[in-house]
Amino acid sequence: MSVLAAATIATTMAACGGDDDSGGGGGGGGGTAEDNEATDPGMTEDSVLIGAHYPLTGPAAPGYSEIPTGVQAYFDFVNANGGVYDRQIEWEYLDDGYNPTNTGQVVNQLVLEDEIFAMMGGLGTPTHNAALDLLNSEGVPDLFVASGSSLWDNPEENPYTFGWQTDYESEGKIIGQYIAENLPDAKVGLFLQDDDFGEDGERGVRQYLDDEQIVEVQTYTSGNTDLGAQITALQQSGADFVIGFNTPIYTALSQLTALRLNYTPEWFVSNVGSDPQLVGSLLERFSSGAVTGTSLLEGVYTTDYLPTVDEVDNPWVQLFQRVWDESGQEGELTNFRIYGMSQAYTMVQALQAAGRNPTRDDLVAALEEAGGDFQGPALAPFRYSSDRHAGISGMSVSRIGANGSAEELTPVLVTDVGDAEIEEYDGEETTPPESGIPDEEAIG
């Protein structure tokens, strides 16, 4: 048990139903005799301030800049139904342009000037890494980082930081196993972002594919848009199957560069870089209209840990469509907005579990104590505990079809970092409560 959990266990157990302070919150029940009180910075009697950093401008803005609009839509939905313990959730997100130097500056503003109660969904591996020391030294809950890096699962050194999505090493393992079992003769090339994103993915892949099968490894630096050398090296190596751990812009750029070089391998693009609608729009823009739609992506393998916007019969997608329509914001529901709403749904559960008047440490302890049992749209369970701050534990493999549709190739597979085996998830699919807001009574 961590120091934080031990220090606040009584508060957390009370928040999870250990006493009579179990009402209110997200429209989930009646009030209690206890009044709201201000506790730590950002937590007032009638509001709680949550902050984040995103690339609203710059090379990573396409797609990622939509995530906070999804968060806003869901928080507005909860606020319209009473908030959490009669508090309104205030959401402040700032632009860092996917530049770590900028991230340090905007997080400094959020923490020291604007005094957020917690950070949620700060985006990017190199960018959020620049904020880790400040958030943890100031004791600010740093929840649900929008990145699958293993950096976020280190409760001893960074006790306030938690991951959310499936980590890149686990994803790499699932990708590697799929290729080993279904494409054992493939000559594999790796195309990687040159930071922990690519390194973690490669580490997972190599647990199932050996040096003989991996014939070439190429990396790119975010911001450098000329991929001629990398794609040429992959082509000359004889790689007929390329695994990409890259952002959407670099999926589009790598596909266009391969097209120009008449290089036609099969591709497996990690979840981060595979959104068909976004990559299709980037392909059209970068090619000045020479490539249209998602036709260039047909047959590309990828992974999923959330339902996607094309699953119109999925109850979570139906809920998020309703929330988005009610928000009045411009644009359509996208997978990036579903991602943001899904994180916001988890955040509401964390605030509920922390109790009526939580401190920042109470919020962290509540997530350690109850977060592993949180329900939501994720395809696999969370791994939160007092000694693990890792998020979603698995994903499925799919293949992109016509018009960006997805063909599921595997059931949901769960694993962990290191030598943990990959197993088929045997849990039940979840459905949202009728209200669309987490059932507080189910958290304890």
pLDDT of 442 reads 52
CA 23-355-110 angle, 5° bins: 130
HSE, side-chain direction, 13 A CA sphere, residue 190:
27
Q: What is the mean pLDDT of residues 136-152?
A: 97
Quote the CA–CA distance of 195 and 181 in Å, as a whole number.
28
118 CB-near residues (< 8 Å, 6+ apart): 42, 48, 50, 51, 140, 141, 142, 143, 360, 363
Order of all β-strands in the sheet with 47-54:
88-95, 47-54, 118-120, 142-143
Name the β-bridge partners of 269. 244
Name the residue among 62, 41, 42 with its Cα closest to residue 50. 42
Beta strands in 210-271 (DSSP E): 214-220, 241-245, 266-269
SS3 163: coil
Name the β-bridge partners of 191. 218, 244
Name the residue among 284, 232, 278, 281 with its Cα closest to residue 254. 232
pLDDT of 404 reads 84
pTM: 0.90
pLDDT bracket for residue 374 (50, 70, 90): very high
The tokens for 360 are: 């920042």
pLDDT tens per residue across span 26-78 = 443 333 447 999 999 999 999 999 999 999 999 889 999 999 999 999 999 99
Q: Is 287 exposed, middle or buried (0-12, 13-18, 19+ CB in 10 A)?
A: middle
Q: What percentage of the chain carries pLDDT values higher than 90?
A: 87
pLDDT over 90 at 406, yes or no: no
Domains of the chain: 3-166+314-379 (3.40.50.2300), 168-304 (3.40.50.2300)
pLDDT tens per residue across span 230-272 = 999 999 999 999 999 999 999 999 999 999 999 999 999 999 9
- Chain position carrying tokens 């409560």: 433
pLDDT tens per residue across span 73-129 = 999 999 999 999 999 999 999 999 999 999 999 999 999 999 999 999 999 999 999
pLDDT of 405 reads 85
The tokens for 171 are: 């994803």
Quote the CA–CA distance of 230 and 10 in Å, as a whole number.
55
210 CB-near residues (< 8 Å, 6+ apart): none
Lowest-confidence pick of 175-179, 294-298, 381-385: 294-298
- Chain position carrying tokens 């794609």: 231
Name the residue among 21, 19, 31 with its Cα closest to residue 82. 31
